Amino acid sequence: MGQYLRSLSEIDLAPIPGKHYWHCNREWREEFIYFMLVDRFHDELQRKPVSSRERARGSGTPSQLRKFCGGTLNGITRHLDYIRGLGCTALWLSPIFENNDAPNRDSDKYHGYAIQNYLAIDPRFGTKDDLVDLVAQAHHRDMRVFLDVVANHSGDNWFYLGNEAKTYDSGREYPFGSWRHAERPLPIELRNPNYYGRKGEIRNWDVLPETQDGDFLSLKGFRNDESADGLVLQEIMIKAHCYWMREADIDGFRMDAVKHMGELAIARFCSSIREYAYLLGKRWFMLFGELVAGDAAASRYIGPNTATHVGNKTVYYGLDSVLDFMLYWTLPAVIKGDRPPADVVNRYEALRENALNRGEMGRYLVTFLDNHDQIGVEFKKRFAAGATDKQVIAGVGYLLCALGTPCIYYGTEQGFSGEGFGDEYIREAMFDLDDTTRNLLNPHCSIYEEIAKIARVNQGQETLRFGRMYFREISGNGVDFGLPQGQPCTLAFSRVLASQEIVIAYNTSTTERRTDFVIVDNRIHQRGEGLKFLYGAEGTVEVLSHPDPGNQSLFVRLELDPMQFVILR
């Protein structure tokens, strides 16, 4: 029935009688998120993976990957055990609502960000019942499900007068032309030209108000302002998304393009969604945004209990978190030894400074190594491209042990290493597009197996999920200590929770075995104690004291093979 809704007047937002909405007590920072493009994970065919320890190459030629490949919601449901076996506790699905057909047949809107119907699942992905079943099956496995939602803009559902492309011009509003489809967009309430900004394509992506008022390329920007029409538009979008929470028991939204939507509209959307989630009994509904910017910009959008002023209005931001692009721009190169370790240390020092004003900002940022866009980069490249298996394992292991909510991009666990000039190179299929009997969901791949081991350690250790984080000084001689300055190095940090400390260390060298002394907390440990390896090695190492009687430092001596990643308690 839901697939054929046309108007918001047909929607009932009262909780479904007799339905028990799923509630999870985990904090967001306890999740391990698996992000996938729905079209690329798995289709409806019965396939089997090749059983091998070796990494896989994602399937598809560039021309194949610019079009729909056939992945569906049912394909995900049938392979939830693969995702859960990796240790992931949450799914982040790319947008699943009905999209435009692309006018350029060389490239389809398989990614889902060009929505023309907010009340229906794109039939190429499945039906509403398929989504309901997917969420129910995920909940049965104690997994949350997050939807990627687009409230900043619609698809290319109409054209400007004269059917000509328009660009932003000092806030000029252009005349509306006509709708491209007689029956879209839906809900029908969106078929009002005044609900769109109509100011042409953004050209300067970092200057206000252009970046908030203009169109996102050919996609048509909503009027997310404080005008009467803008406020009605925002209520339409809120109600449409509450409908999916009611029907499918969704656990969170990843908000697309929040930088372009504006603080007031985001705060209003998030506050309304959070209140509705509470009405359904969902106390930890997660709202995190895509914000391609630094911490100063993030501070304008996150912190649901923190107030600021926009104009003459007091705003409670609404978003719980944003994707940690600052770490994404730093960590991969440090793991591979291409940038100094100080870069990643400085990233956390910046978070510590923000915490003075923003509370526990760094604890909830969604951290990642790979994504599907890589905005602003012409040559796209997955983290595993040019990386060894051990580096991939260490990179994901770092996310699982450090502050934040770790997120893995589909295929990373199989070593997908796409690269090239175009998004299609980093959006490979996980089912073979040329062999209908084969997929790439191999639980015996060494990268998959090792990530799963680290995830189990994370989920068994409260200290790794809730502890404070400190980078540790190291020494080559056991006398002179300091944070590592160059590459290669032993990169080490601790998570400390009450009277417990867990130490994480990684040898960034690809060729040399390193022996370094690593500082541990002298308020928790005593000389002669042993720290046990939880991952990466066997046995224990002894806690040692500084040879200078006046120096109270304690440390452990670690001998690490090239690219060895270890966890000790």
* Rounded distance between C-alpha atoms, residue 266 and residue 304, angstroms: 11
551 within domain boundaries: yes
| Residues 402, 545 within the same domain | no
Counting every residue written for the chain, the total comes to 569
| Residues 399, 485 within the same domain | no
| Residues 234, 105 within the same domain | yes
The CA-CA-CA angle for residues 346, 347, 350, to 5°, reads 85
- Say yes or no to pLDDT of 55 above 50: yes
**Who has greater pLDDT, 449 or 316?**
449
Detail the DSSP E strand segments found in 307-363. Answer: 307-310, 313-316, 321-322
Q: What percent of the chain has pLDDT over 70?
A: 95
163 within domain boundaries: no
* Rounded distance between C-alpha atoms, residue 287 and residue 303, angstroms: 11
Task: State residue 106's pLDDT score.
Answer: 55
| Residues 311, 447 within the same domain | yes
452 within domain boundaries: yes
171 within domain boundaries: no
Task: State residue 485's pLDDT score.
Answer: 93
Residue at which a domain ends, from 460, 480, 503: 460
Residue 362 confidence class, pLDDT cut points 50, 70, 90:
low
**Who has greater pLDDT, 142 or 351?**
142
> What DSSP string runs through 45-67?
S--EE---SS--PPB--HHHHTS
Span 15-32, pLDDT tens digits: 999 999 999 989 988 999
Which CATH number does the domain housing residue 328 bear? 3.20.20.80
Span 415-474, pLDDT tens digits: 999 999 999 999 999 999 999 999 999 999 999 999 999 999 999 999 999 999 999 999
Range(s) of the domain holding residue 44 = 2-12+27-152+224-460
Residue 226 confidence class, pLDDT cut points 50, 70, 90:
very high
* Rounded distance between C-alpha atoms, residue 522 and residue 484, angstroms: 20
Task: State residue 15's pLDDT score.
Answer: 97
Q: Total structural domains in the chain?
A: 2
Say if residues 10 and 39 touch (Cβ distance below 8 Å).
no
191 within domain boundaries: no
| Residues 440, 482 within the same domain | no
From its phi and psi, is residue 278 left (phi > 0), alpha (psi between -120 and 50) or beta?
alpha
Task: State residue 299's pLDDT score.
Answer: 76
| Residues 445, 497 within the same domain | no
* Rounded distance between C-alpha atoms, residue 463 and residue 499, angstroms: 10
Say if residues 158 and 220 touch (Cβ distance below 8 Å).
yes
401 within domain boundaries: yes
Which CATH number does the domain housing residue 506 bear? 2.60.40.1180
| Residues 263, 356 within the same domain | yes
Residue at which a domain ends, from 460, 483, 510: 460
Task: State residue 1's pLDDT score.
Answer: 37
| Residues 487, 531 within the same domain | yes
Residue 2 confidence class, pLDDT cut points 50, 70, 90:
very low
189 within domain boundaries: no
Task: State residue 102's pLDDT score.
Answer: 58
- Say yes or no to pLDDT of 41 above 90: yes
Residue at which a domain ends, from 429, 460, 491: 460
| Residues 518, 553 within the same domain | yes
Residue 292 confidence class, pLDDT cut points 50, 70, 90:
confident
Q: Phi/psi at 447 (nearest 5 deg)?
A: -65, -45
Q: Please report where in the chains the tokens 């939830």 appear, as a residue.
A: 80
Structure token digits, residue 367: 């951290």
Span 68-81, pLDDT tens digits: 999 999 999 999 99
| Stretch 116-142: mean pLDDT | 97
- Overall pTM > 0.85: yes
238 within domain boundaries: yes
* Rounded distance between C-alpha atoms, residue 116 and residue 104, angstroms: 17
* Rounded distance between C-alpha atoms, residue 393 and residue 197, angstroms: 45
| Residues 421, 340 within the same domain | yes
- Say yes or no to pLDDT of 104 above 80: no
- Say yes or no to pLDDT of 357 above 50: no
Span 166-198, pLDDT tens digits: 999 999 999 999 999 999 999 999 999 999 999
| Stretch 251-273: mean pLDDT | 92
Residue 105 confidence class, pLDDT cut points 50, 70, 90:
low
Residue 262 confidence class, pLDDT cut points 50, 70, 90:
confident
**Highest mean pLDDT out of 30-44, 204-218, 360-374:** 30-44
| Residues 102, 233 within the same domain | yes
Structure token digits, residue 429: 């299929």
- Say yes or no to pLDDT of 533 above 60: yes
| Residues 422, 481 within the same domain | no
For residue 522, what are the contacts with CB-CB under 8 A and spacing of at least 6?
552, 553, 554
